[in-house]
Amino acid sequence: MIQVVKSPSVIKAAGTKNKIIEEYFGHVNSNTSEVSIAHMKSPEGWVEPAQSPEFNEYTVVLKGKLKISTKEKDYIISEGQGILTSKMSG
């Protein structure tokens, strides 16, 4: 199957400040659940509620830094680095 995405869908994000999510592939824009590929722009100091992912989330930081906190550890992901947050089983 071939699916062309002509433009992303803008998705409203939960959190303390306005964050822009432009989804190219995922539930909203391409009606797919295997992977979500989106470009996100978060302002400094942006925080979102804790999550228990139902899917594997791959994050690549293009500019700035991202802090991800788990029950066990805090991670600082810098520009040019990536992190995989695995889905919760159950």
Check whether residue 36 and residue 54 sit in a common domain. no
**Taking the CB of residue 36, how many other CB atoms lie within 10 A of it?**
20
pLDDT of residue 90: 53
Contact 56, 85 (CB under 8 A): yes
Q: 56 and 40, same structural domain?
A: no
Give tens-digit pLDDT for 18-42.
888 899 998 888 888 878 889 988 8
Rg (alpha carbons) of the chain, rounded to whole number? 14
- pLDDT recorded at residue 15: 75
Q: Are both 15 and 35 inside the same structural domain?
A: yes
What mean pLDDT do residues 52-75 have? 87
Number of independent structural domains in the chain: 2
Contacts (Cβ under 8 Å, ≥6 apart) of 83: 58, 59, 66, 68, 75, 77
Higher pLDDT, 89 or 37: 37
Q: Are residues 42 and 5 in the same domain?
A: yes
Asked if residue 38 and residue 3 are part of one domain, the reply reads yes
Q: Are residues 5 and 40 in the same domain?
A: yes
Model's pTM, two decimal places? 0.74
Mean pLDDT (the chain, rounded)? 86
77 shares a domain with 38 = no
Calpha distance 73→65 (Å, rounded) = 16
Record the tokens describing residue 47, joined without a space.
Answer: 């925080």
What residue numbers bound the domain in which 82 lies?
50-90
Q: How confident is the model at residue 89 (pLDDT cuts 50, 70, 90)?
A: low
Judge contact between 37 and 25, C-beta under 8 A. Answer: yes
Same domain, 41 and 75: no
